[in-house]
Amino acid sequence: MIRILKIGGSILTDKNQEFAARPEEIARIASEIATCADGLVLVHGAGSFGHIPAKRYGLPQQFSPEGMRMTHLSVARLCEMVVVALSQAGVQCLPVHPLSTVMLRQGRIESFFLEPVKEMIKKGIMPVLHGDVAMDASGGAAIVSGDQIVAYLAGELQAEKVAVGSNVDGVLVSGRPLPCMTRDGLSKFKNDIGASAGVDVTGGMKGKLEELLELADRGTESVIFNAGKEGNIVRALRGEGVGTRIMRQK
C-alpha cells in the first residue's frame, strides 16, 4: 500500500527568512515519519529555500537560468537536511530531484521519469521529493510545486492515502477548519480562504486546493492537516479525523 505525505515548507522553514531552516521541527517530523514509514513517499515544500529566491528572480513568470540554478541548489540543500534527519531517525531514504526527472508544459507536469521512485519503493527505500524548478516545454513557467507533485504521484502510483501537512489545522474559514471541502465548497468560500502567511509563488492554500480537488475528481481523496502538532502525521496517515478532507463533488 502506497501512501503519500507532503510536509509543507512552512513547517520546515521560516517562510519569511531565506535559508532559515527549523532543525528541531525537521528532526521531530523525521522521528514521527520513522514510526509509520512503510510504503511512504515523502514530498516536502520549498519554504523560504525556494519561494524567496524564486520571487527574487521573477520565477515562474520570467525565464531565468540563473534563478533556476540558485533556487534549485537552495531547495536541494533543504532536501538534504530532510534526508539526513530521516536517516538519523532510522529511515532508509533517497532524494529525488524533480528538476532532473520532470518535464513541464505551461507549468503542468507533462512527463515524470518515475522508474527510480518505483524501484526505491520496491526496495523499501523512501523516495524524498520536493517542490522545485523544472524545465518547461512552453518556455514559460518553470516551477513545480510539491502539491502538484503529490497529486501527480498519487495518480501514477495509485496511492491509497494522501496526507498534506501544513502549519494550519486544515482549510480555515473564519479561523476554523472545515471538516471537508469539495469544488462547490471552494466556490462558496473562495473569498474566505487565505493566502500563505509568508512569501509564496505557488498559490498558498488555494493552489493546494486546486491540485487536491483535481485529484479528488480522479477518485482519490486527501486530507489537509496541521503537521506542526505532534502526532498528527500518524493520525492523518491512519485516516483519523484530523484537518479537512478533500472530496469529490457528490
Q: How many residues bind ligand IP8 (CB under 6 A)?
A: 17
Binding to ligand IP8 in span 93-132, by CB under 6 A: 131-132
C-alpha separations of 203 from 24, 45, 94, 181 in Å: 27, 12, 28, 17
What whole-number distance in Å separates Cα of residue 157 and Cα of residue 189? 31
Q: How far is the CB of 184 from ligand IP8 (least distance, A)?
A: 25
Q: How far is the CB of 21 from ligand IP8 (least distance, A)?
A: 14
Site string for ligand IP8, 77-96 (x = CB under 6 A): --------------------
Q: How far is the CB of 88 from ligand IP8 (least distance, A)?
A: 23
Q: Pairing state of beta strands 222-226 and 244-246? A: antiparallel
What whole-number distance in Å separates Cα of residue 162 and Cα of residue 158? 10
Binding to ligand IP8 in span 137-156, by CB under 6 A: 143, 145-147
Task: Please say whether the dihedral angle defined by the alpha carbons of residues 95, 157, 161 and 104, taken in this order, is positive or negative.
Answer: positive
Residue number, 9 or 170, with CB nearest to ligand IP8: 9
Q: Which helix (H) or strand (E) element contains residue 155? A: helix 146-156
Residue 71 makes contact with ligand IP8 by CB under 6 A: yes
Residue number, 201 or 216, with CB nearest to ligand IP8: 201
Question: Cβ of 6: how many Cβ atoms within 10 Å?
Answer: 31
* Segment near ligand IP8 (CB under 6 A); pick from 47-55, 82-90, 100-108, 185-193: 47-55
Q: How far is the CB of 71 from ligand IP8 (least distance, A)?
A: 5
Residue 42 makes contact with ligand IP8 by CB under 6 A: no
The single residue among 41, 89, 133, 157 that binds ligand IP8, judged by CB under 6 A, is 133
Question: What are 217's three cell numbers?
Answer: 475528481
Q: How far is the CB of 13 from ligand IP8 (least distance, A)?
A: 9
Among 245, 79, 236, residue whose Cα is nearest residue 149: 79
Residue 51 makes contact with ligand IP8 by CB under 6 A: yes
Residue 28: what are its φ and ψ, rounded to 5°? -65, -45
C-alpha separations of 214 from 143, 182, 207, 246 in Å: 19, 10, 11, 10
Q: How far is the CB of 3 from ligand IP8 (least distance, A)?
A: 18
Q: Which residues are at the interface with ligand IP8 (CB under 6 A)?
A: 9, 45-46, 50-51, 54, 71, 75, 131-133, 143, 145-147, 201-202
